[in-house]
Amino acid sequence: GRESCLVGLIGSGVGPSLSPALHQREADRHGLRYLYRLIDIDPLGLGPERVGELVRAAARLGFDGLNITHPCKQTVIEHLDGLSEDAALLGAVNTVVFGADGRAIGHNTDWSGFARSFARGLPDAPTGEIVLLGAGGAGAAVAHALLTVGADRLTLADTDPARAAGLAGTLATRFGAARVRTVAPGGLPAAVGGADGLVHATPTGMAAHPGLPLPVELLRTGLWVAEVVYRPLETPLLAAARAAGCRTLDGGGMAVFQAADAFRLFTGREPDATRMLADLADL
């Protein structure tokens, strides 16, 4: 591992991000000099199509790596020298590592973050039939994770049918058409009724998007419910699911494990995700 590390986060509106604190607290425990800078494209007057300028600047200034967030996870790809297999399959990069040779390689730790959080928080949860609400960036990472860890079949639901169809097409190519289908909102009761679990990956439940993403009557004992929203950690959906007797998983684990996986890529050191989860709870 390195003795010091300079990294950053590029995206829109990154000011409130918890990533600097999560990374720097873990680095402190490793005795590592670690700076995690926020690089917000909005005050810089840069659109997502100009993320390449920032990536090149960071490389020249000696950064070891970058996290990349909304709305740059796709646009960054053409500016990189290579991609991990997973990032290439997902078509999204949330972590860039600058090698000693100057090459910038893109990775995706959102999907591995969800996979590790799911394994830890809902061990032995049945994964025969899973309904995924939301086919955007987070939904794509979750879908990739669930099919990679062996879910038999995923049903995608999105209020924008084109997004559900688009993601289903990509997943069918990768994992086989028999393992993926889409459902219109009207088909949700039947889909959830026959499912082992539900993953929520829309912004519903955040302050700007209050409320529940599906009718509360669809929640029942025996259905597990995993949340991707982590601000707040306790969403109306999680509260309703728990009240209905569901096993639940909050979105904090995905946020922490994606940070832990990025920390390992940046530093070559093994992060302690349990300590990082405790940090998140007190941030």
- Min separation Cβ 120 and ligand NAD, Å: 14
- Min separation Cβ 145 and ligand NAD, Å: 11
Q: List the one residue from 251, 261, 271, 280 that touches ligand NAD (CB under 6 A).
A: 251
> Which residues have CB under 8 Å from 153's CB, separation 6+?
128, 129, 130, 178, 179, 180, 181
- From residue 55, give the alpha-carbon distance in Å to each of 41, 62, 107, 131, 173: 12, 11, 14, 36, 31
**Whether the bond into 48 is cis, omega within 30 of 0:** no
Please identify, using beta-carbon distances, which residue of 48 and 203 lies nearer to ligand NAD: 203
Q: Which positions from 32 through 91 interact with ligand NAD, judged by CB under 6 A?
A: 70
Give 33's strand partners. 4
Give just the sign of the alpha carbon dihedral 72, 75, 81, 84: positive
Which of 23, 73, 107, 116 is catalytic? The answer is 73
* Contact range with ligand NAD by CB under 6 A, out of 120-128, 147-155, 233-241, 254-262: 254-262
Alpha carbons 38 and 41: distance in angstroms, whole number: 10
Active-site residue 73, yes or no?
Answer: yes
* Contact range with ligand NAD by CB under 6 A, out of 14-22, 49-57, 78-86, 224-232: 224-232
- Min separation Cβ 175 and ligand NAD, Å: 19
Q: What is the size of the binding site for ligand NAD (CB under 6 A)?
A: 28
Q: Which positions from 82 through 141 interact with ligand NAD, judged by CB under 6 A?
A: 110, 113, 133-139
DSSP character string of 23-58: HHHHHHHTT-EEEEEEEETTTTT--GGGHHHHHHHH
Q: Any idea which residues carry the catalytic annotation?
A: 73
Note the residues at the interface with ligand NAD (CB under 6 A).
70, 110, 113, 133-139, 157-160, 163, 201-204, 206, 213, 228-230, 251, 254-255, 258
